Structure 1
Amino acid sequence: MSPNPPLPATLSLLSPLTPPSLERTWLTSPHPRLPLVATCSADKTVRIYSLQNFNLLSTITGGHKRSVRSCAWKPLVKGESVLATGSFDATVGVWRRWDGYGNEIDGINGDYAGGNMEVNVNGEGEVGGEGGGESDEDEEWRFAVLLDGHDSEVKSLAWSPAGSLLATCSRDKSIWIWEDLDDGDNNFETVAVMQEHSGDVKWVSWHPSEECLASGSYDDTIRLWREDVDDWGQVACLRGHAGTVWCVEWEGEGESTIPTANAEAGSSDGASEDETTRRNNTWLERHNQTGPRLVSCSDDRTIRIWTKQPRPRANPHASSSTGPGAIPSIIRPASIDETWSESAQLPGRHDLSVYSVAWSKRSGLIASTGADGRIVVYQERFVEEPPAAATTTEAKTDVDAHMDGADGDADGNGQVQAEEQPSLPRTEWHVIAIFDAAHGIYEVNHICWAPRVDRGRKEGEEEEVLVSTGDDGCVKVWRLER
């Protein structure tokens, strides 16, 4: 039997983040503006590292009584960094730090570049340094507020794209949505508590531009949530996984995620430049109709892509019912329920549970990792056949979304007439890189994409790296080379 052909890309270790935690690390979150990452650990701390020199900059302690399971940076904040942390002690902490301390050094504020500063919270909830002094550095991080409501371990949390809402989920099977009132007093208001999941809720993730939340659970389902009028509710339930859904992530928006033929990777099908442009334009048109897709990973060792089905367009030529008893369609209540289907399953390369999956907003690549310690990178490509000959072979899944009303206008017989959708060029996913035993014998709990700027690079020339977080307490930064 001939050996497997070499993969078109390789993963190489750029550097570990030092020093590591002495206990298990769960997740690493890249800062939205600065070359920093925050890593949460079983030792009850959150560590802030530099992505430029890979060194520890500060350690946040004292906010939680048990392992810190998740952390997330608030987006769109100017002049300040805001970090939310979720813990096995059932609480959520919010931390703040002014970005204006010190002078700029290598793109990081001077006090960050200066070294390792530990910030602790005392019994009164005030922030103080190791020596209890009152210097600016001692007050680098401020413990702003503790959100209390969950009955059990907080597993995941995420800020909405505008930063006004914070979603948290727990082993207590609930999802809470908190609103940051932004009143200067660090006040948060509970706006929703959703309890439709029948098992632990492992993950929450916001749509990149809309207030739509996706969740994954121990009950093997993915659920989507939106606000309707003044209350939050489920708009879809995606079934297909045969095990715990550990992670759900959204595709990015924009042309960067449109799959293109890559001759270097062996995916070119000989299509002309005009044909390639046509396929990309068709793909983009449909993508704009359906919006970003979802990727999920599970205890069943599979990684699946989910696509929202566009609502049928009304046929302008269809006749409508008239008469004194007819109700104008303009006041017909529209259903907020959505129909999603499983559109792809990525090649199986994991031998054990897949804990984490990340969809690059920049390149469209997907990376995965899990209990087998393996990191796998996937690329989407057009199928090597003329689009006209393509047939729809999307896998079907049970979707608990019910259309309460007809989408579009009905004809005289009450039949909905919709415009036919253009055929979508087919794509398939290929493995382009694999790295075994990324953290030695230990499980890898999380992986994410992060931008990184080397010294000498101009603004906008940052490279994208992968960051893995493992049971060995280490966080590693990887470079994908093609």
Structure 2
Amino acid sequence: MLLLLYICFKKVHKLEGHENEVKSCAYSVSGRFLATASRDKSVWVWQVDEDEDFDVCSILQGHTADVKFVVWHPTDDILVSGGYDCSIHFYCFDGDDFVTIQKIEAAHDSTVWSAAFDHSGKYLVTVGADKFLKIWQQKWAESLQERSWAKLLELELDTRWPLYAVDWNHLTGHIAVSGGDGKVRIFNFDFDSESLTKSGSFTVEDEVNSLRWHPTIPQLLSVSCDDGFIHLLTHDC
């Protein structure tokens, strides 16, 4: 039996400023900031005040092509963006504005489509049109502006299609990745040895655009596809 739950929403704000399609948006873990990314090559950060009003905090224009995603660090107000220019950018709040703390040129050989942090924020995984999965390790510093990331490992997947989506399970450490071939691959990252091993795979009917692990049910993964369906998958972790 299919149970449909209807929840009533109403529009409370309409944020304007981007000159082209907005491709991604994400709230910071603190809830103080909303980041948006656009085909106009910019990343905007909006600050949320106590009355739930949104003011433009920063307009970041370091990318030279479409920005495909923004993702926040799980514990700090550190923002990451990536896109068509093959680079990933890291930003942090300096008290007045968001500033770029690191720019990794040619992070992938083609479009960087998606990224996700592990539960601690020490590691970042990225995937791209070059069919590579890459993990970046944080070089910790007390000051957010002095932190940086370096490539820890990379793995070329056995596919001729781009990788569009990746998510890191904060409960189990598993990484799910998929893309144009409709195959969802599950990897296990060993935090002690800092190594990556494949632990399973699923095949869905069409190209995968996005996937997300459930935040409290460790085995449940939702996958959105070009066939118009949302596939709910379970993995024996």
Q: Find 2:160's aligned residue among 327, 348, 351.
A: 351
Gaps of 5+ in 1: 1-52, 59-111, 113-139, 254-290, 314-333, 383-424, 453-461
In structure 1, the residue matched to 2:230 is: 475
Counterpart for residue 285 of structure 1: none
The answer on whether the counterparts of 2:131 and 2:156 sit within 8 Å (CA) in structure 1 is no
Contact 1:349 1:376 in 2 (8 A): no
User: Structure 1 residue 225: deviation in Å?
Assistant: 0.3
Alignment of 1:71-82 (within 5 A): none
Per-residue deviation, 1:230: 1.3
1:228 offset after TM fit, Å?
A: 1.8
Correspondent of 1:160 among 8, 16, 28: 28
Aligned to 1:85: none
- Of the three residues 39, 42, 50, the one matched with 1:174 is 42
Verify the 8 A CA contact 1:247 1:356 in the aligned structure 2: yes
Partner of 1:342: 151
1:232-277 residue CA offsets vs partner (Å, 9 max, x unmatched): 1110112331000011111102xxxxxxxxxxxxxxxxxxxxxxxx
Q: Look up the equivalent residue of 1:358 and give its one-letter code.
A: D
Q: Quick one: structure 1 residues 201 and 55, their matched pair in 2 at CA, closer, same or farther if it must change by over 3 Å?
A: farther
Larger radius of gyration: 1
Asked if the contact 1:251/1:294 (under 8 Å) is kept, the reply is yes
Partner of 1:241: 108
Residue 209 of structure 2 is aligned with which of 436, 439, 445? 445
Cα deviation, residue 350, structure 1: 3.2
The alignment status of 1:432 with 2:196, answered yes or no, reads no
2:91 counterpart (222, 225, 228) = 225
Cα deviation, 1:95-153, whole Å, max 9, x if unaligned, reads: xxxxxxxxxxxxxxxxx5xxxxxxxxxxxxxxxxxxxxxxxxxxx21111110110000
Runs of 4+ in 1 over 2 A off after TM superposition: 53-58, 334-339
1:327-378 residue CA offsets vs partner (Å, 9 max, x unmatched): xxxxxxx892433210011352333100000000100000001011110000
Paired residues of 1:352 and 1:371 also in contact (CA < 8 A) = yes
In 2: Cα distance, 1:472 partner to 1:335 partner:
42
Distance (whole Å) between structure 1 residues aligned to residue 62 and residue 77 of structure 2: 19
RMSD across aligned positions (CA): 2.1
Q: Which runs of 5+ in 2 are unaligned?
A: none
Per-residue deviation at 1:309? 2.0
Residue by residue, what CA displacement relative to the aligned partner does 1:416-473 show, whole Å, maximum 9, x if unpaired?
Answer: xxxxxxxxx533211111123x1x2x21101110146xxxxxxxxx453010001111
In the other structure, the counterpart of 1:372 is 181
Paired amino acid for 2:169: S
Q: SS in structure 1 opposite 2:188? A: strand
Q: How does 1:111-260 map to 2 (within 5 A)?
A: 140-183=8-51, 186-239=52-105, 240-253=107-120
Percentage of identical aligned residues: 31
Secondary structure of the equivalent of 2:75?
A: coil
Equivalent AA in structure 2 for residue 368 of structure 1: V
Q: Which residue of 2 aligns with 1:362?
A: 171
Which residue of structure 1 lines up, in the alignment, with residue 138 of structure 2? 308
Matched with 2:123 is 293
Contact 2:92 2:144 in 1 (8 A): no
Structure 2 length-normalised TM: 0.92
Change in Cα spacing, 1:340 to 1:472, as seen in structure 2 (3 Å) is same
The answer to whether the 8 Å contact 1:347/1:429 transfers is no
1:180 and 1:188 in contact (8 A); partners too: yes
Q: Secondary structure of the equivalent of 1:336?
A: helix
**Distance 1:232-1:54 versus aligned 2 partners, 3 A rule:** farther
Q: Is the 8 A contact 1:243 1:298 kept in 2?
A: yes
Give the Cα separation in 1 of the matches to 2:25 and 2:218. Answer: 27
1:57 corresponds to which residue?
A: 5
The one-letter code matched in structure 2 to 1:145 is H
* Contact 1:347–1:430 (8 Å) recurs in 2: no
Q: 1:297 to 1:54 in 2, by over 3 A?
A: farther
CA distance in 1, matches of 2:194, 2:90: 25
Give the Cα separation in 2 of the matches to 1:198 and 1:359: 28
Higher-strand-fraction structure: 2
| Paired amino acid for 1:242 | D
* Distance change (3 Å), C-alpha of 1:463 and 1:294: closer
Deviation at 1:193, TM superposition (A): 0.4
